[in-house]
Amino acid sequence: MQMDVRPWLERWQQNNIGWHEPGGNRNLREHWHALRAGRRVLVPLCGKSEDICWLLAQDHDVTGVEVSALAIEIFFREQSIDYLVSEEQGLTRYRATELPLSIYCCDYFDFHEQGFDALYDRAALVALPPEIRERYASHTAGLLKADAALLVITLAYDQARVQGPPFSVLPEEVTAYWPGIELVASCNDIRNCSDKFHEAGVTEAIESVWCRPA
């Protein structure tokens, strides 16, 4: 099934990016080191996440994949990182000139580089509707080494009351996609959810942090 990415491109054009966390994600900082992740980290659906800079500062090689060229250009501009753009195997690659960072501008399902040591998924799995998520998980597994470290952050809430994205992803779905992954933290994050959650009367949205060490 092909994904319609136009709504995402429009959101970037309208600067309607309520998911973006200025300063990055606290869970990454708290749980990453316990994973003993190898050097090469994959960040699917990366947006303009400042977590990329944090991972670079931990000495990782970072590869992001993002469908919006605008998002990628904003990221490099805001972070004052110089870059070059090239076309490689049909994909547009933005490569930092002085840091081990590349962001590919494409539909994630067209990205096929393999051998990553670790996955950082914040607001990627939960950005996808149910009919795409299984494909996302198996595509991602094919890009990672078998013993790759994983850090995946999910949100679970009453999907009958409010539509995604972000979509509700239940624990059994996460453990089915990622054998050996374990819940390391969870909390009710409703206060950080967008207006549509509050307008629908949702009072509980459980943010969960899932990890699998290398």
CB-wise, 147 or 150, nearer to ligand SAM? 150
Q: Least distance in Å: CB of 48 to ligand SAM?
A: 7
- When the beta carbons of 37 and 45 are compared against ligand SAM, the nearer one is 45
Answer for the pair 117, 125: CB distance below 8 angstroms, yes or no. Answer: no
Closest residue to bound ligand SAM by CB: 47
Smallest distance from ligand SAM to CB 66, Å = 5
Binding site for ligand SAM (CB under 6 A): 3, 5, 8, 19-20, 45-47, 49, 65-68, 71, 107-108, 122-124, 127
Q: How far is the CB of 119 from ligand SAM (least distance, A)?
A: 12
Q: How far is the CB of 115 from ligand SAM (least distance, A)?
A: 20
Cβ atoms of 173 and 132 within 8 Å: the answer is: no
CB of 54 to ligand SAM, least distance (A): 12
The smaller minimum CB distance to ligand SAM, of residues 147 and 194, is found at 194
Would you say 85 or 147 has its CB closer to ligand SAM?
Answer: 85
Minimum CB distance to ligand SAM, residue 6 (Å): 10
Residue closer to ligand SAM (CB basis): 68 or 168: 68
Count CB neighbours of 121 within 10 A. Answer: 23
Residue among 64 and 181 whose Cβ is closer to ligand SAM? 64
